Chain A
Amino acid sequence: MASITLNNLGKVYPGGTRAVGDVNIDIADGEFIVLVGPSGCGKSTLLRMVAGLENITDGEVRIGERVVNQVEPADRDIAMVFQNYALYPHMSVRQNLAYGLKNRRTPKAEIDRRVNEAAEILQIGQFLDRKPRALSGGQRQRVAMGRAIVREPAAFLFDEPLSNLDAKLRVAMRLEIKELQKRLRTTSLYVTHDQLEAMTLADRLVVLNGGKVEQIGTPLEVYRRPASAFVAGFIGSPAMNLIDARAVPHLPGTAHAGTIGIRPEDLTVTPDGPILMDVLAVEELGAQRLVHGQTGGEKLTITLPSDSELADTLRLGFDRASLHLFHRETGVRID
């Protein structure tokens, strides 16, 4: 186990495109860090740079005390779980798990011990002699994690490991990964585009946009005080309302803000509220409903209890403290 430090890490592709720039993250030993962002934001590239599958053009990656920029992936003491599992199709589950250890000349008895231990942890004992193609998606996912566990690495790297699973299994596996990481206390770096997955798994979130870090913080910090309009719109479901301040000029204390953010759940229906919303559509979620509408040309969403009264226009109020103010051009938080 080890800490991981990313120092001014950057990546420029030979064509001149900058994929990642100036990333500084200190990951403590045993910490679960989730890299989250929309597709194309450089999160996978960043992970692959830590893994050694992608060249580093600027800055350095440290695993433990060692700078590993020039170290082969196999010698970085990391294990990676891929989105499509990348199991060797012609090998049995047991051989899949043992392959990396065998290449490292681990003694036979030690390999057996670790494989059996991992199989027990992941409950894949009865599949050990099957080929991957005879397994379901969830079972393959477990094998892929088993391959990482048997290595007993300094860090786990997860590259969207749950994207190929159906929604229900994804939620179950999410919890399992969390429990497993808590038990093994292995430093983990996890990439996902699913903000809910990011929120539930992370000790700390790293929100990336366009190859740059927008914010680093615990899920609640990021949720409660998003550092930029981008983070505000990305984290949280349904997404935060971001309104051009000019559309609602009558809100007190927002004169210097370009963009006003307010979460759908922070808006309430009040007879004398300052915002008048025309209702456009209603989505029923069971426990609550999402009401979509617009005010002054800006789209607005509000979460209401499912027994609330609906009308063509709603007057909305909010608590001043729940407003988030952002700069118009840079999107940076200004309060």
Chain B
Amino acid sequence: MIENRPGLNLLAHLVLVLGVVVVALPVWVAFVASTHSATDFMSGTVPMWPGPHLVENYSKMLDSGVSTSGTPPVARMMLNSLIMALAIAVGKIAISILSAFAIVYFRFPFRGLAFWCIFITLMLPVEVRIVPTFQVVAGLGLLNSYAGLSIPLIASATATFLFRQVFLTMPDELVEAARIDGAGPMKFFRDILLPLSRTNMAALFVILFIYGWNQYLWPLLVTTDAQYYTIVAGIKRMADAVDGLPQWHLVMATAVLAMLPPVAVVIGMQKLFVKGLVETEK
């Protein structure tokens, strides 16, 4: 639909600007808050422009953290989050691409049952099965470990479905040509399926990395040792200051830092991400 009416154009831009303001204003406030000193917030007015304490606040958070809240330095928590997010993204992709490969290309007994079992996990996200999952993880002695943080979140059906759809669109002749060319199943998987689903893997990686990074409830449950706190759960602990006011300037500095890696991933992989969602290169 192409229309050329100035009024409509203006309205469209107005809506867009409004949208940007709604999304960006809280981020701006957080950033501004992170550049002031603690006393600036006692005055009752919220500053709207950056203050002089940017370097001081951020280096303090990265190096030492807020001792009263019991959280380790932000750098440590970011590392934990990074390990967890990467483990979830890579683990999920690896497991789901293999299971999709099995479901699409092999005829084995109970194939339909396997498919439906995977399907059912769609209805059981971590939040629903959190108590039994916690029991299992605790029983395996995985509390306060990276494995405990990431493994329960790896098993899920969404990614399997995505790859299943991708594989189903591959022409049968490609499989047959590979068979005649003497490529066994695993060779076919490595030489043909993997390269052809590269963009889909990238798109999925972006989504899963952010999913993993933003995990809140699960890390809060399974980590009691400060060494394993993730940054999103850590922000909450900082805001719950014991015996005192929350140090908002430091909390906000942490929040801004927590935003950076997902933003970097999205920007860095934007091209592949879009390609993976729209392109059909077969």
Contacts and interface: CB of A to CB of B under 8 A. Distances in A.
B180 A100 contact: yes
Contacts of A104: 182
Contacts of A84: 171, 173
A72 B182 CA distance: 9
Interface string B160-202: 0000000000010110111111110001000110011010000
A273 interface: no
Contacts of B178: 88
B243 interface: no
Contact of A78 (B171, B180, B192, B196): B180
B159 to A, nearest CB: 21
Contacts of B191: 88, 99
B180 to A, nearest CB: 5
A51 interface: yes
Nearest to B194: A90
Contacts of B177: 80, 82, 86-88, 147
A73 interface: yes
B14 to A, nearest CB: 42
Interface string A76-99: 001110111111111000000001
Contacts of A87: 177
Contacts of A88: 174, 177-178, 191-192
A84 to B, nearest CB: 6
B176 A82 contact: yes
Nearest to A79: B180
Contact of A103 (B173, B183, B196, B282): B183
B97 to A, nearest CB: 16
Interface string A51-87: 1110000000000000000001111001110111111
B281 interface: yes
B214 to A, nearest CB: 33
A133 interface: yes
Nearest to A84: B173
Contacts of A51: 176, 180
A52 B182 CA distance: 12
B184 to A, nearest CB: 8
A32 to B, nearest CB: 20
A155 to B, nearest CB: 12
A75 B171 CA distance: 23
Interface in A82-133: 82-90, 99-100, 103-104, 133
B179 A133 contact: no
A53 B176 contact: yes
A103 B179 contact: no
Contact of B181 (A74, A85, A90): A74
Contact of B179 (A53, A79, A89, A147): A53
Given A82-B177, A90-B195, 6 more contacts: A52-B180, A83-B173, A86-B177, A99-B181, A100-B182, A103-B181
18 contacts: A51-B180, A53-B179, A80-B177, A80-B180, A82-B176, A83-B173, A84-B171, A86-B176, A86-B177, A87-B177, A88-B174, A88-B178, A90-B195, A90-B281, A99-B183, A99-B191, A100-B182, A103-B183
Interface of A: 51-53, 72-75, 78-80, 82-90, 99-100, 103-104, 133, 147
Interface of B: 171, 173-174, 176-183, 187, 191-192, 195-196, 198, 281-282
